[in-house]
Structure 1
Amino acid sequence: MSGASDATGDASGRQGGAWFDRVRDITLQLTAWPSVTGSSGEAAFGPRLHGFLGELACFRDRPDQLRLLPAAELPGCSSVAALVRGRGRRTLVLAGHFDTVGTENYGALAPLACDPFALRAALREELAGAATEAERLAARDLVGEDFLPGRGILDMKSGIAAGIAVLEAFAREEAPEGNLLLIATPDEENRSRGMRSVRGDLPALAREWDIDIVGAINLDASSDLHDGSAGRSVFLGSVGKLLPFAYVVGRPAHAGYPFEGFSASLAAAEIVREIEGNVDMAESIDGEASAPPVCLSLADFRERYDVTMPDRLWLAFNILTQRRAPAEVFALFEAAVGAAMQRAVDGYAASAARFPGAEPVRHPPKILTFAALRELAAGKGNGGPDTARPAATEEDDDNPFAATPPLVDALARRAGIEGPAVVVGFAGLHYPAVHLQPDRAADRALEAAARLAATEIAAEQGETIGIRQFFSGISDMSFLGHRPDGLELVAANTPSPDFIDRPGAELSTFPVINIGPWGREFHQKLERLHAGYAFETLPALLLRTARRLFETTGNR
């Protein structure tokens, strides 16, 4: 490898390769179109991409193989489906999202965020006085040609660009085996409503086009702050995500007489201490560990100052999964909350016993699920179960930490919940974990094809391409090619309907893996793409995987 440091990798050595210029040019075009989630640019991107593809030789005379698919629950937004036919019905999907996070963190350089070369020049100048190790690494990366910065260039427009170049190359082959279908979607950075809408469109689309989807490759990016060996990988699955919450109810008391009540703050602190960073709640498979739980939200419900102890607090945790079903995660979370609450109650009573004049009153803690709370509140209402859900707030519906706490608080007050108590449930959208299953022939075929392709391309290009079990980022993979388990439990315990996934009755099922670009610091000001891998190795690997898959899945 060459470059300014051991951590830069090698891109410049592959410039001028079979793929480099074409994938770079497409990447620059896609990056130049701003498409921040929820913006007019995101809405415009689908039609723009549809028009761009329509001008390519592989679609110019085949407009019936291009589709704009309106995205459900996203007015004005659309996904794009583009099919290149070979022989037979077997079809491999290449999937990516085109929305990006915002550009606010670029500060004064925000106008350059979608212009990678201009941004690189500006960042080179700005990083000349790099003060932190992260800035010094970025300065080393950007001084040469190995890395290109830009909003969305890594996450993940270069992945879509590689997919487009693969479609073009596949179309130029003489009657190749199989078919390739590119799917590009909005809203991955929010609630994956683009992909969740497309999965409902796929069965009808497959019937209309008379294709049999035998697998999919998600084209999302991975991060590697070292030599790139972790980023240059085929991922056989993706971690999942649950966002369980704990709504803590104490007993109010004046701050001058704390032992007349029960401190919700103490209970919340014990819950955080029990769960935050708890490695026993993390999963590890084949030496790959998912991150332990992290508290993402801790807030009270005060609207003004007073000296009463907080009696209601809200916490929500990020929990990543590999194999565990929602029921198992929920049981672990509920048990951890229960242990923490008992410790808080016992500790508070012990403190009261040592304080002059205080009476050590013990209140057994109650733990109940949101589903149980809803039933309890329904029994207290005047209009039956339908009154158990309060009206949706007018706050940001895209933010589970804005939408969910008021719903839980309203039901708890209606139900007359007294502390010490905790209501547990799910605050946000469930992203199911996915992984190839060795007992399924289609999964084995896709894994074998990807492994063989990785071995061949690595040897041809003189670098390593690893095989890893789990893609560590939350992505659209969770909603492509399968029907997850545990949907009923999650739905019953999720207060806001905006964060409940309800797939249709008909879903196409097929194995999914991730093969995408790598770089550093996506979503950040210094987001940057390793150009050589994205523009040369990645498309070669994608096309080779498709060829090997169609060779091994037989004639259908």
Structure 2
Amino acid sequence: MLDCQNEVLFYTKQLVNIGSIVNTNGEIEIAQALYTMIASFPYFKENPTNVIKSQTLNDELERYNVLAFVKGTKASSNRTVILMGHLDTVGIEDFTQLAGFAFHPDELLLELKKEKLPPLVKEQAESGDWMFGRGILDMKSGVASNLYLLKYYSEHPDELEGNLIFLAECDEEDSSNGILSAVKDLHNWKEEHHFEYIALVNSDFVSPRFPGDSSRYIYKGTVGKLLPSFFITGAETHVGSAFEGLDPNLIAAELTRQIDYNPELCNEAFGETTMPPVSLKQMDLKPNYTVQTALAAYVYYNFFIHSWTPKDVLEKMKEQARIAFANGLKLFEDRYKHFCKISGEPCRQLPWQPWVMTFEEMETELIKVHNSEYTAHMVEFKENLLLDGTLDLRMYAARVVEEAWKWMPDKSPAVIVFYSSLYSPRIEMTGETAGEQRLIEALEYAVQTVQPKYEEPIVIRNFFPYISDMSFVGLSDDDEALDAAARNNPSWGTKFFVDYQEIRELNIPVVNIGPYGLDAHKRYERMEIDFSVRIVPNLTNEVIKKLLAK
């Protein structure tokens, strides 16, 4: 076992002290600090081109990844293991009056002890076994573990039979610009140094799966993440004649009732089940107050997948939208009839039927009707829309669908299903390839080797359950699945683009070995010190040694 805990803890605090909130200048600051630190190691003073600070490509913001590598001298080999972790964090709004302490773990702990804390948080804060702070769990302690191993092998290249790459990427918490740019650097190094990428070890955080769960988890592969989105049109009317129109917010509400927390939309594979979808936005698209009902509403949902494809999810979302639309119309009709009864007004036949289509289906119809007039208009519209810096990827997509809808000959109430954000692909580590099997065996060996040195069970599972940049170094989806995601994303090719072929050419088997803790993205974010700074580096090191051994 490496005697690493003090050094990893030191690096963790150094990294946490730099407030690197995503989409702020803190991302620049932490990349520069990390680059300067690595460049100061003796090995990199002798080999300065082995460490780079690489700016992201096609990014609206200036920010950087940091990459470094050590070539082992124990034996000549092209086999290469990549250690990956992200440098950015979410914001600190949840720290409220303690925001000034969010990046200072020791001071934060003292301040927290003055508060009335939940029982478990209080117990852990007073134990001395836990450390608090923004980014300490997600995931700077993981980056610190990787940094320690990079430094160790830079000082002991004679113990390394192949090569070790350190990758610290930015923008994991938003749009993954960091890893998507780093893929190009990995390709360049592969060509220049003839690296054979045999595995990538990510070091994102792990947490209990349920209250009282004492296991520390290691994951093969990762969950996939989609953002199915719905543009819902109604029939506008004055509120004084409410039943003469159809409020799209009613359909939106039914859609959320149908989809939110629905276990039927959980995806099971290898005995593991995803979290169900949950709403991340629900709004109408009225720009300001009027006494007219909204023309359209917009909702989107987080959607995790293990084995389903983007095409599968589109079909499931169309079906859910049909159900929600029918339920909304039934509710409208029942209430309308009740109103007619109590008001004495005569009832009329309602003119609407559920109408649901994908964005691709709508575009196909519009091109058929309007030909190049429509396509030319939309190209110009999208380009002009890019000039609006207030629109994130999700709202950009909504505005494109809204504009396309204006060209529909039939303006009856409808639901348009599409994707409004980046698809983070699922990765299944089945062991079907020799590379996957070798990594799985190395992982099992590492657990068997380290488990006797740690009292809590270390358990291997199949899918990392949170969104991570592991999704962008390998692919389990075929081209048809990826095409379905692209064709149904209105932002594709303008606001964003992912070169999945470039990722497929890398196709690196992945696992996650990361720090253990609780409340990531929350006020009481904290890590268990012993597992995170002692066990994690040693587990990772055993995987490295096993994989690179001849």
The reply to whether TM is greater than 0.5 is: yes
Give the stretch that moved more between structures: 350-359 or 466-475.
Answer: 350-359
Give the Cα separation in 1 of the matches to 2:543 and 2:406: 56
Q: Any unmatched runs of 5+ in structure 2?
A: none
C-alpha distance in structure 2 between counterparts of 1:190 and 1:279, whole Å: 27
- For residues 45-98 of structure 1, give each alpha carbon's deviation from its aligned partner in whole angstroms, at most 9, with x where no partner exists: 222211101122332322122122221123532211111121311111000110
Residue 344 to residue 170, structure 1, CA distance change in 2 (3 Å): same
Shift, 1:382, TM fit: 7.5
C-alpha spacing 1:69/1:417, structure 2 compared with 1 (3 Å): farther
Say if 2:88 is the partner of 1:95: no
Say whether the 8 Å CA contact 1:397–1:498 is kept in structure 2: no
Contact kept in structure 1, 2:366 and 2:374, CA below 8 Å: no
The partner residue of 2:377 within 379, 387, 402 is: 387
The aligned residue for residue 432 of structure 1 is 425
Instruction: Check the 8 A contact 1:377/1:388 in 2, yes or no.
Output: no
Counterpart position of 1:114 = 103
1:215-258 CA-to-partner distances (Å, cap 9, x unmatched) read 1011111233756634x221012111111111111222333433
Q: In 1, Cα distance between the equivalents of 2:25 and 2:337?
A: 62
Give the match for residue 50 of structure 2.
65
8 Å CA contact retained: 1:365, 1:419: no
Aligned to 1:54: 39
Identify if the C-alpha distance between structure 1 residues 27 and 417 changes in structure 2 by more than 3 Å, giving closer, same or farther. Answer: farther
Instruction: Give the aligned length.
Output: 530
Q: Find the counterpart in structure 2 of residue 313 from structure 1.
A: 297
Match of 2:261 in 1: 277
2:475 aligns with 482
1:284-303 equivalences in 2 (<5 Å): 284-303=268-287
- 1:104 corresponds to which of 84, 93, 106: 93
Given the superposition, is the C-alpha separation of residues 214 and 175 from structure 1 closer, same or farther in structure 2, using an over 3 Å criterion? same
Which aligned pairs between 1:123-272 and structure 2 lie closer than 5 A? 123-125=112-114, 127=115, 129-130=116-117, 135-171=118-154, 172=156, 174-224=158-208, 226=211, 229-230=214-215, 232-272=216-256
Coordinate RMSD, CA, aligned: 2.3
Deviates more, 1:40-49 or 1:209-218: 40-49
SS at match of 1:174: helix
Q: Counterpart in 1 of 2:412?
A: 419
**CA pair 228-59 structure 1, distance change in 2 beyond 3 A:** farther
Distance in 1 between the 2:451 and 2:157 partners? Answer: 23
Question: Aligned equivalents of 2:18 and 2:360: distance in 1?
Answer: 44
Q: Deviations over 1:313-365 (max 9, x none)?
A: 11111111111010001110111111222333344345545634021224233
Read off the aligned partner of 2:148 and give its amino acid letter: A
Q: Confirm or deny that 1:513 pairs with 2:511.
A: yes
Is contact 2:425–2:475 with CA below 8 Å preserved after alignment?
Answer: no
CA offsets per residue over residues 272-291 of structure 1, 9 Å max, x none?
A: 22212211111123442211
2:534 to 512, 536, 540: 536
Distance 1:76 1:301, change over 3 A: closer
Q: Secondary structure at the match of 1:313?
A: strand
Change (3 A) 1:41 1:350: closer
Q: 1:504 to 1:417 in 2, by over 3 A?
A: same
Q: What's the TM-score, normalizing by structure 1?
A: 0.89
The residue matched to 1:435 in structure 2 has which SS? Answer: coil
What's the % identity of the aligned pairs? 27
Which of 11, 28, 32 lines up with 2:17 in the alignment? 32
Q: Which residue of 2 aligns with 1:491?
A: 486
Q: Secondary structure at the match of 2:258?
A: helix
Paired letter, 1:387:
H
1:44 alignment partner, SS class = helix
Distance 1:481 1:58 in 2: 30
Q: What does the per-residue CA deviation read over 1:122-153, in whole Å, with 9 as the maximum and x for residues that have no partner?
A: 1112x2x23xxxx3322211112111111211
Return the alpha-carbon distance in structure 1 between the equivalents of residues 515 and 184 of structure 2. 27
Question: What amino acid maps onto 1:468 in structure 2?
Answer: R
1:167–1:180: 8 Å Cα contact kept in structure 2? yes
1:502 corresponds in structure 2 to: 499
**Which residue pairs with 1:453 in the alignment?**
446
Q: For structure 1, list consecutive stretches of 5 or more residues without a partner in the other structure.
A: 1-13
CA deviation digits over 1:13-38, x for unaligned, max 9?
x9xx8111111111111112221111
Q: In the alignment, which of 77, 99, 105 is matched to residue 63 of structure 2?
A: 77
Amino acid at match of 1:56: F
- Shift in alpha-carbon separation, 1:218–1:54, aligned structure 2, 3 A: same
Cα distance between partner residues in 2 of 1:444 and 1:59: 33
Q: 1:138 to 1:398 in 2, by over 3 A?
A: farther
Q: 1:245 to 1:450 in 2, by over 3 A?
A: same
| CA–CA distance in structure 2, aligned partners of residues 413 and 513 of structure 1 | 46
The counterpart of 1:409, out of the listed 396, 402, 405, is 402
| TM-superposition CA deviations, 1:436-473 (whole Å, max 9, x none) | 12211100110110011012101133432111111111
Equivalent of 2:362 in 357, 373, 384: 373
Greater CA drift, 411-420 or 456-465: 411-420
Aligned residue identity for 2:108: L
1: distance between equivalents of 2:87 and 2:391?
18
For 1:144, give the aligned amino acid: S
Cα offset, 1:394, TM superposition: 5.5
Do 2:183 and 2:502's aligned partners in 1 also have CA atoms closer than 8 Å?
no
Give 1:8's aligned residue: none
Pair 1:401–1:384, CA change in 2 (3 A): closer
| 1:546 shift after superposition | 0.9
Q: Which residue of 2 aligns with 1:466?
A: 459
Q: Which amino acid aligns with 2:547?
A: L
Aligned CA distance change for structure 1 residues 26 and 542 (closer, same or farther; 3 Å): same
Conservation of the 8 A alpha-carbon contact between 1:95 and 1:219: yes
| Amino acid aligned to 1:137 | L
- Letter of the structure 2 residue corresponding to residue 85 of structure 1: K
| Secondary structure, counterpart of 1:222 in structure 2 | coil
In 2, Cα distance between the equivalents of 1:509 and 1:189?
22
The secondary structure found in structure 2 opposite 1:21 is helix
Q: Matches of 2:202 and 2:390 in 1, distance apart?
A: 27
Taking structure 1 as reference, are residues 301 and 462 closer, same or farther at Cα in structure 2, changes over 3 Å only?
closer
Q: Residues 402, 469 of structure 1: CA spacing in aligned structure 2 closer, same or farther, 3 A cutoff? A: same
